[in-house]
Amino acid sequence: MQEQYRTVARAGVHESEINRSRFICALAPAATEQEAQDFIARVRKEHPTAGHHCFAYVIGADASVQKASDDGEPGGTAGVPMLQMLTRREVRYAVAVVTRYFGGVKLGAGGLIRAYGGVVGEALDELGTIVRRRFRLATVTVDHQRAGKLENDLRATGRAVREVAYAEAVTIEIGLPEADIEAFRGWLADATAGTATLELGGEAYGDA
Residues 92-137 have pLDDT tens digits of 999 999 999 999 899 999 999 999 999 999 999 999 999 988 888 9
Domain ranges in the chain with CATH number 3.30.230.30: 4-127
pLDDT of residue 37: 97
Is it true that domain 4-127 has CATH number 3.30.360.10?
no
pLDDT of residue 204: 82
5-39, pLDDT tens digit by residue? 999 999 999 999 999 999 999 999 999 999 999 99
Domain ranges in the chain with CATH number 3.30.70.240: 133-207
CATH topology of domain 133-207: Alpha-Beta Plaits (3.30.70)
Distance CA 113, CA 76 (A): 8
pLDDT of residue 206: 77
> If residue 127 lies in a helix (H) or strand (E), which one and from where to where?
helix 108-127
Of 201, 179, 187, nearest to 157 by C-alpha is: 187
Distance CA 44, CA 95 (A): 14
